[in-house]
Chains A and B, each alone.
Chain A
Amino acid sequence: MNVAVTVDAREDIPVWLAYGTPVFTVLAALAVSAIALVVLDVNPIAAYATMFVDTLVTEFGLTETLTKAVPLILTGLAVYLPLKAGLFNIGAEGQLVAGALAGTWIGLNVSLPGLALVPLMFVAAAVAGGIWAGIPAYLRAKWDVNEIITSLLLTFVALELQSYLLRGPMQGGTGNFPQSERFSEAATIPELVSGVHAGLLVAIVMVAVTYVLMTRTRLGFEITFVGSNDEAAQQAGMSKYYVYLFVFVVGGAFAAMGGISEIAGAQGRYRAGFEPGYGFTAIPIALLGRNSAVKVLLAGLFFAVLFVGGSSMEVAFGVPAALVEIIQALVILFLITAEFFKSYRVGIDLKRGPAETPAKPQRGDD
């Protein structure tokens, strides 16, 4: 018997595959992660019930999720926007930290009434995040230096800087913890509804702005054009230089707003290590939502559920919160596997007896 695997590029994607992929990948990731739960002698169904149901039906779970979603949506946008122009920003974490540090400095050292101070903190954060993202953007736009590596490396610079500032010039509070002084009332982001701070509003507005930008404006069209074919875009008279700078700098500003929202809204003071890898989670969020800014919002909410559900599962079953990281990684690994099946039709031919022609795969994989 002879088995030949054929792989052909698909002309178009069937509807069930296009819409089923995110659902299927999430279910597959949960199924595989269940193995880890069984190893720890935890009933996966009970654990997942805690993870998702408690998170979505209790008031505490819901407010936690909405709060957590703020930095996730904003960093998601920070990856989404450059992705639209064909660039990879994997330094959203660094931009978030740089922004949060700048915003915190303003919040602790400038005295203004709350109505003026909080917006100023956001502006300071956005400027710092924009500058932090502007370095890889400029190097890429002007000199073609790979933005993936530079934005990543700058993340580690930002994390060291955070550690330096919170152990030195910006350290406050009691004890030896690397953290800042507590924010005053004026520097705290007010609550929108009970338990949810107004950073959520900022995130939603930024999603709307991005949505309008990408679907209704000439610049959005240029970004998409540069992202799909930069040479054709150049010939059509568009400047790759400005598009690259724009998407990265604005993306960095988004991430930074996420950082200051989390600090001045949810935390109340800058604690070192407050960011459990938001910038890296932003990558799956941007990928899940890469078709539209609204989907970035939904993906951000989904990952917020994962994070919050993960910690309630930790409390209820003693399962390490690291399970969330595993699920997160698996979702994406399955998602990029599914991408392959979206773009290629895989067929298996079973032939009896020795084949007349040697069974050779059609694709050049040997």
Chain B
Amino acid sequence: MVTFIAGLLDATVQAATVLLLAGMGELISERAGVLNLGVEGMMLVGALGGFITTVVTGSHWLGFGVGILLGMVLALVHAFLCITLKSNQVISGVMLTLLGTGLTTFFGSGWVEESIDGFPQMTLPLVGQYLVDLPVIGEALFRSTATDYLALGLLVVVWYFLHHSNLGLEMIAVGEDPEMADTMGVSVFRLRYLAVLIGGGFAGAAGAHLSLAFSQLWVPGMTAGRGWIAVALVIFAQWRPRRMLVGAYLFGLLDALRIRSQSISLTLGPDAPLAGVINPIVEFLMTPQIMGTYPYLATIIVLAYAVIRTKSDQLAVPSALLQSYSRETD
């Protein structure tokens, strides 16, 4: 049991990092008022670019950087379309996911057989060597890949940036009330561009983490909907970085549980009361595919609950989300 939980936690950390990175990017972009439904495509581009770079150069950090860069390139298209040309954010995002999927399937077909030395597991510097022997949580928390630690570190940076730095607060203002921000001398245009680009960089990083640390190989479409989960995660977290940490680990745990659900038995013994009724239900609920619906259902419930319960001005949805901004018309 202890080994099982330790292994589960370890898998949770790995799965959570992908969601955390992509989710942080989405969070920043949405906070500035731009919904990015292209995360999945940006992740794939980052995953393939990072992988090819690592195969060619042998440096996984270089690959990681290229992944970030490529995510930003795709995000630049999104920013140009949504901010400069005031196009519909939903259409642009969905099409960029399609473009990213198409491009990576097209150009990545020759790289499926390649193998790389991805990010190695390392103990956390300074304190890791003392804590890694802790039962259950030691391995999961203190022996991970560098990108796992990086994601957690970045979460603190993002939280501080958004809520305690001038630039971050201006960004939030742009997402809440662009006209007011404009009147106060904040450049709506520049900040939205910045936010979308940062978002794309994070998505690229999430993809690169996926191919370089998580699975250490390239398969077309390997993000398997994690980009969409990241979009869901931001809603689940109500656009707040700290709640996103909880959400990412919760969704990561579901992901990890799902892969291992066959080896878990929560059914009652045959003699227990109501076993005949409860056991089939439990078995159904523990099926991997049924578990796969939980993140989506949870997000719908949380979203509906939040909207119904709170007044719209108390809800954390950035007020100007999905709205393009131009001075003359407003």
Contacts and interface: CB of A to CB of B under 8 A. Distances in A.
A111 interface: no
Interface string A206-246: 00000000000000000000000000000000000000000
A148 B90 contact: yes
Contact of A328 (B91, B98, B188, B317): B98
B81 A149 contact: no
Given A143-B304, A364-B327, A333 B92 contact: yes
A322 B96 CA distance: 14
Nearest to B225: A156
Nearest to B187: A366
A173 interface: no
A152 interface: yes
B290 A160 contact: yes
Contacts of A366: 187, 189-190
B102 interface: yes
A323 interface: yes
A90 B290 CA distance: 22
B92 A336 contact: yes
B7 interface: no
Contact of B289 (A161, A323, A337): A161
Given A164-B290, A340-B85, A284 B228 contact: no
B103 A153 contact: no
B111 interface: no
Contacts of A153: 228, 232, 296-297, 299-300
Contacts of A143: 304, 307-308
A10 B182 CA distance: 25
A310 to B, nearest CB: 10
B296 A337 contact: no
A298 interface: no
Contacts of B307: 139, 143-145
A329 interface: yes
A352 interface: no
A283 B328 contact: no
Contacts of A139: 300, 304, 307
B121 interface: no
A329 B99 contact: yes
A53 interface: no
A278 to B, nearest CB: 12
Interface string A76-111: 000000000000101000000000000000000000
A332 B290 CA distance: 34
Given A153-B232, A160-B290, A333 B99 contact: yes
Contact of A339 (B87, B220, B325): B87
Size category of the binding interface on chain A: 35 or more
Nearest to B80: A337
B95 A326 contact: no
Contacts of A167: 289
B287 A340 contact: no
B61 to A, nearest CB: 27
B235 interface: yes
Contacts of B87: 336-337, 339-340
A257 interface: no
B105 interface: yes
B195 to A, nearest CB: 15
Interface string A153-191: 110110011011001100000000000000000000000
Nearest to A166: B289
B293 interface: yes
B77 interface: yes
A73 B88 CA distance: 22
Interface in A311-354: 320, 322-326, 328-330, 332-333, 336-337, 339-340
A149 B106 CA distance: 29
B95 A320 contact: no
A292 interface: no
A145 B304 CA distance: 6
Given A333-B77, A337-B85, A164 B287 contact: yes
A136 B66 CA distance: 39
Contacts of A328: 98, 102
A287 interface: yes
Nearest to A323: B106
Given A322-B105, A322-B106, A323-B106, A340 B86 contact: yes
A164 B92 CA distance: 32
A365 interface: yes
A326 B97 CA distance: 10
Contacts of B94: 90, 280, 283
Given A163-B289, A164-B287, A320-B106, A330 B303 contact: no
A326 B99 contact: yes
B96 A154 contact: no
B216 to A, nearest CB: 23
Interface string A265-302: 00000000000010010011001000000000000000
B36 interface: no
A146 B182 contact: no
A235 B243 CA distance: 40
25 contacts: A9-B329, A139-B300, A139-B307, A145-B308, A148-B90, A149-B231, A149-B232, A149-B235, A152-B37, A154-B300, A156-B225, A156-B228, A160-B289, A160-B292, A164-B287, A280-B94, A283-B94, A322-B220, A325-B98, A326-B103, A332-B91, A333-B77, A340-B86, A365-B189, A366-B187
Closest 8 CB pairs of A and B: A364-B327, A325-B102, A164-B289, A322-B105, A329-B99, A326-B102, A340-B85, A336-B87
Given A153-B296, A340-B86, 11 more contacts: A90-B37, A144-B307, A144-B312, A150-B303, A157-B297, A160-B289, A160-B293, A168-B287, A326-B106, A340-B85, A366-B190
